[in-house]
């Protein structure tokens, strides 16, 4: 039943995008006009889909050009703006959620992977546990001498079982975090990695071990860059850092782009910010990231944004 409903929605979006393209390009003949009016009259949902596609035409082109995932659509050089946007809409409707999350390469690397909205807790062979944030992935290898987890993407919280003979190491983005009898959180993105300690201490060093390891104590957070070099150690609000485990995001003067990225972990599609100025605006608050509508509603109310939906795409404009 759900599959049939999803297919109907995709078909409606495809038809709406096609009609918008034809109407804007002046390609509609008299028979087309009659067919269009008949299509609109078929159901209120058709009219709603058409109006949503019309709204997107005015805003989505810049968003698509500014987003690498959407910019990868193959189009002819310098086509009309409406055609660019409609090709994107059609592609997203046809591909559904897979246009964003074709995770084949990651699944080949990972031993455990969490999907959109999933936050599983996994017990490892040594009795240690790790909880993955949504849209995260890890690989791990345990031997008689070492216990190593590689955070391939996202965020994870580790509660480490004691084993003095086998160090517990988390690798992420050029750095290595070694547990010193501890519980800690590791969050990584394309720019940097944050390690937050909630119990005891950890040792953080680069993969190359070019510089001495940095000890990070309970209640503190270390930040290191892609080369693994620690650039900051600071006190941390561990309640806020671990809010994701409760389905929340707690921020104080954070960029909209950062907030949207966390909300997007729990949304089976893509949330696009219309321009860089909006992405850089700052916001504070507690967001229920497991409820996309509520989280975006708070963002909308806080900053006076518009939230426009079209299938798997949500466009934010300020």
Q: Is residue 191 part of a domain?
A: yes
Domain that holds residue 113: 104-237
Between residues 14 and 16, the one the model is more confident about: 16
Q: For the domain that residue 300 is a member of, what is the CATH number? A: 3.55.50.30
Q: How far apart are CA 14 and CA 89, in angstroms?
A: 8
Q: Is residue 196 part of a domain?
A: yes
Say if residue 222 is in the same domain as residue 265.
Answer: no
pLDDT band at 43 (very low <50, low <70, confident <90, very high): confident
Say if residue 59 is in the same domain as residue 114.
Answer: no
Kind plus residue range of the DSSP H or E element containing 169: strand 168-172
Q: Is residue 135 part of a domain?
A: yes
Asked if pLDDT for residue 265 goes beyond 90, the answer is yes
Say if residue 142 is in the same domain as residue 65.
Answer: no
The β-bridge partners of 314 are: 271, 309
Q: For the domain that residue 157 is a member of, what is the CATH number? A: 2.60.120.1440
Say if residue 135 is in the same domain as residue 71.
Answer: no
Asked if pLDDT for residue 176 goes beyond 50, the answer is yes
Q: Is residue 304 part of a domain?
A: yes
Last residue of a domain, one of 74, 99, 124: 99
pLDDT in tens, 74-84: 444 444 555 55
220 neighbors 202 (Cβ within 8 angstroms): no
Say if residue 165 is in the same domain as residue 265.
Answer: no
pLDDT band at 101 (very low <50, low <70, confident <90, very high): very low
Asked if pLDDT for residue 44 goes beyond 90, the answer is no
Q: What is the DSSP letter of 207?
A: T
Say if residue 113 is in the same domain as residue 217.
Answer: yes
Last residue of a domain, one of 237, 260, 289: 237
Q: Is residue 271 part of a domain?
A: yes
Say if residue 94 is in the same domain as residue 108.
Answer: no
- The set of residues, in sequence order, having a beta carbon less than 8 Å from that of 180 and lying 6+ positions away, is 200, 201, 202, 203, 215
Say if residue 176 is in the same domain as residue 213.
Answer: yes
Say if residue 111 is in the same domain as residue 227.
Answer: yes
Quick one: pLDDT at residue 117? 86
Q: How far apart are CA 166 and CA 178, in angstroms?
A: 11
pLDDT in tens, 198-246: 999 999 999 887 889 999 999 999 999 988 899 999 999 999 999 999 9
User: Taking residues 17-31, what's their average pLDDT?
Assistant: 70
pLDDT band at 3 (very low <50, low <70, confident <90, very high): very low
Say if residue 230 is in the same domain as residue 120.
Answer: yes
Quick one: pLDDT at residue 46? 82
Q: Is residue 242 part of a domain?
A: no
pLDDT band at 10 (very low <50, low <70, confident <90, very high): low
Say if residue 184 is in the same domain as residue 208.
Answer: yes
| Total number of domains in the chain | 3
């Amino acid at each position: 039943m759900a599959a049939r409903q999803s297919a109907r929605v995709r078909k409606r979006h495809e038809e709406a995008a096609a009609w918008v393209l034809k109407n804007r390009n002046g390609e509609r003949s008299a028979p087309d006009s009659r067919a269009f009016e008949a299509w609109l009259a078929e159901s209120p949902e058709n009219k709603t889909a058409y109006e949503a596609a019309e709204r997107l035409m005015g805003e989505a082109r810049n968003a698509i050009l500014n987003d690498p995932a959407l910019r990868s659509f193959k189009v002819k050089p310098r086509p009309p703006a409406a055609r660019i946007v409609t090709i994107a809409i059609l592609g997203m409707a046809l591909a559904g959620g897979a246009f964003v999350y074709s995770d084949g390469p990651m699944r080949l690397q990972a031993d455990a992977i969490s999907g959109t909205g999933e936050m599983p807790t996994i017990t490892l062979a040594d009795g240690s546990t790790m909880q993955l944030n949504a849209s995260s992935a890890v690989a791990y290898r345990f031997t008689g001498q070492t216990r190593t987890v590689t955070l391939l993407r996202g965020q994870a919280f580790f509660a480490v079982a004691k084993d003095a003979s086998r160090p517990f190491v988390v690798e992420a983005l050029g750095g290595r975090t070694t547990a010193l009898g501890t519980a800690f959180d590791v969050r990584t993105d394309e720019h940097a990695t944050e390690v937050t300690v909630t119990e005891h201490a950890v040792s953080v060093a680069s993969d190359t071990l070019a510089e001495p390891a940095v000890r990070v104590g309970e209640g503190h957070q270390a930040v290191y860059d892609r080369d693994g070099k620690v650039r900051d150690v600071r006190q941390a609000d561990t309640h806020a850092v671990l809010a994701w485990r409760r389905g929340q995001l707690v921020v104080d003067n954070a960029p909209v782009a950062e907030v949207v990225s966390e909300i997007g972990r729990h949304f089976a599609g893509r949330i696009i910010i219309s321009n860089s100025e909006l992405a850089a605006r700052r916001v504070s608050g507690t967001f229920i990231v497991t409820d996309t509508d509520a989280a975006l509603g708070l963002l909308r109310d806080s900053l006076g944004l518009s939230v426009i939906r079209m299938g798997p795409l949500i466009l934010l404009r300020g």
